[in-house]
Chain A
């Protein structure tokens, strides 16, 4: 493995498989235990550096680090010196001086973790940067698919929604491609990035046409905070054409699964009865996120500093 995890492309097939296998072993080792804690990262410090709001990702990383016995410092931009105008670099150097072995960073600007990685000696894990990447989300999605379907090679994954702004979609496209899955993106033309033609994916504008062949349907959140340029006429129209409701779900093959990275807009991109159906892996994804992040932290921080 490399020293940092900044984007899905940092992982070749062997590395990505190692992360998934490690996560599976950790999950089975901790299953049914009273003490869900391992001594592996005792004495190591992990800083959660969050410049953007997050519930599940920050808590998931915090829990993962704590279960490996690392010391965890949570840093959010609100209430810190960042609000006094401190730069990313100065913040990073401060944390460096305090001896952070690993920095988990979420930032509104694409590429911020890459810059950070050039300034610090510890390992940097990208927990979401702007509209660029969110590699641990892709890893936990791949883990969930493998757990449910037993394989990744040749699995047909449909990713639907706001691909343009979605770092989850970008990370999944590259990781799933590395692992041998076939990805189809479905979105209104306004919500696809300009360069999508060079991605290793098939593009469609018709969700109903691709559903019967899909093994996995991954719904992306409509990011209300970024829907400021008339990307689609109305929420109702979007929901009718690209939302997953029970009628659409009935078109799926019997063993196909429905995924969502959360947080969901119930009734918008996904209907409540779909989100709560047995096909839905949404709650599993959250649990798997902890195992996968433990695997990432172990592989990046467990060895020689």
Chain B
């Protein structure tokens, strides 16, 4: 298997916005990174990459029956469902989708306080021996992903776990790297990256705000 890449490989080019670029500043310190159309294109591209990866990681068939997309709430969950819908649109094959809430596995509850839990729902077929792709909106410190990995470990033993994110903004605090990245965004630690998805926020878009 090819080493994980943060750049799109071997998929239809969707335009210059799929590669890293410095955000353009607008008034009020808010920079638009991805428009609604960009989000759609990026999701389509990751869906294609997932189809390729699933096929290349199996010896027979398209490998899609082996694939489980697991979203990390809040916004990773609708993102996982969108990816599954696009994969089904491209290949005609439905893939399993789930969510895993990481709140009870977080390492910052004591410093930042308890919060309400969100859905944990995994496919009936389970995750044992399958290729699990965790899906989240923003990859930042890597601590959410660490918590999700701990959560998955209590549920079963996947054959492999990979990570797909809409935005990688850098500043990792743990040795974690994404396998599928929608957009790499150089940010300063104090900036805020805001992902909006229609299912949660009423519209699609990604912006960065200066603190």
Contacts of A304 in B (CB 8 A): 110-111, 113
Known: A29-B120, A37-B154. 17 other contacts (CB 8 A): A1-B114, A18-B116, A25-B101, A26-B117, A28-B120, A29-B104, A29-B117, A38-B105, A38-B154, A39-B104, A40-B104, A40-B109, A68-B104, A299-B114, A302-B109, A302-B114, A303-B110
Q: Bound complex: CA of A18 vs CA of B114, how far in Å?
A: 11
Q: State A304–B156 Cα separation when bound (angstroms).
A: 31
Chief secondary structure at chain A's binding surface: loop
CB of A33 within 8 A of chain B?
yes
Contact A35 B111 (CB under 8 A): no
A21: B residues at CB distance < 8 A: 116-117
CA distance A210 to B117 in the complex (A): 38
Whether A22 lies near B120 (C-beta < 8 A) is no
Which of A25, A35, A39 contacts B118, CB < 8 Å? A25
**CA–CA, A158 and B104, complex, Å:** 36
Contact (Cβ within 8 A) B110 A22 = no
In the complex, the answer to whether A25 meets B114 with C-beta atoms within 8 Å is no
Q: Which of B104, B110, B112, B156 contacts A38 (CB 8 A)?
A: B104
CB distance from A132 to the nearest CB of B (A): 27
B:151-178 near A, CB below 8 Å: 154-156
Nearest-CB residue, chain A, relative to B153: A35
**B210 at the A interface (CB under 8 A):** no
CA distance A302 to B154 in the complex (A): 19
Cα distance A234–B104 in the bound complex, in angstroms: 52
Contact assessment for B155 and A22 in the assembled complex, using a CB-CB cutoff below 8 Å = no
Residues of B within 8 A of A75 (CB): none
Is B116 a contact partner of A303 (Cβ separation < 8 A)?
no
Query: For the complex, is B121 an interface residue (Cβ under 8 Å from A)?
Result: yes
**What are 25 A-B contacts with C-beta separation under 8 Å?**
A18-B116, A21-B117, A22-B116, A25-B119, A28-B120, A29-B101, A33-B154, A33-B155, A34-B156, A35-B154, A35-B155, A38-B104, A39-B104, A39-B105, A40-B104, A40-B105, A40-B109, A298-B114, A299-B114, A302-B110, A303-B109, A303-B114, A304-B111, A304-B113, A305-B110
Chain A contacts for B110, CB-based, 8 A: 302-305
* Chain B residues with a Cβ under 8 A of chain A: 101, 104-105, 109-114, 116-121, 150, 154-156
Q: Closest residue to A299 on the B side, CB-wise?
A: B114
B112: A residues at CB distance < 8 A: 303
Give 10 nearest A-B pairs by CB, closest first: A25-B117, A29-B120, A303-B113, A302-B114, A303-B114, A40-B104, A35-B154, A38-B104, A302-B109, A22-B117
Q: Which residue of B lies closest to A36 (CB)?
A: B154
A38 vs B100: C-alpha distance in the bound complex, in angstroms?
A: 13
User: Nearest chain-A residue to B124 (Cβ)?
Assistant: A32
Q: Kindly list chain A residues whose C-beta atoms are within 8 Å of the C-beta of B119.
A: 25, 28
Name A43's closest neighbour in chain B (CB-CB).
Answer: B110
A40 to chain B, nearest CB (A): 4
A35, B116: Cα distance in complex, Å: 22
Contacts of B150 in A (CB 8 A): 39
CB neighbours of B118 from chain A (8 A): 25
B169 CB, nearest partner CB in chain A, Å: 27
Q: Which residues of B contact A68 (CB under 8 A)?
A: 104
Residues of A within 8 A of B120 (CB): 25, 28-29
Which of B104, B111, B150, B155 has most chain A Cβ within 10 Å? Answer: B104
Contact with B along A21-53 (1 / 0, CB 8 A): 110011011000111011110000000000000
Report the bound CA distance from A298 to B114 in whole Å: 8
Q: Write out, one digit per residue, whether chain A residues 8-23 have a CB within 8 A of any chain B CB (1) or not (0).
A: 0000000000100110
Set of chain A residues within 8 Å of B156, measured between Cβ atoms: 34
Bound Cα distance A72, B155 (Å) = 24
A window 202-254: CB within 8 A of B: none
- Chain B neighbourhood of A33, CB < 8 A: 154-155
CB-defined contacts of B117 to chain A, threshold 8 Å: 21-22, 25-26, 29
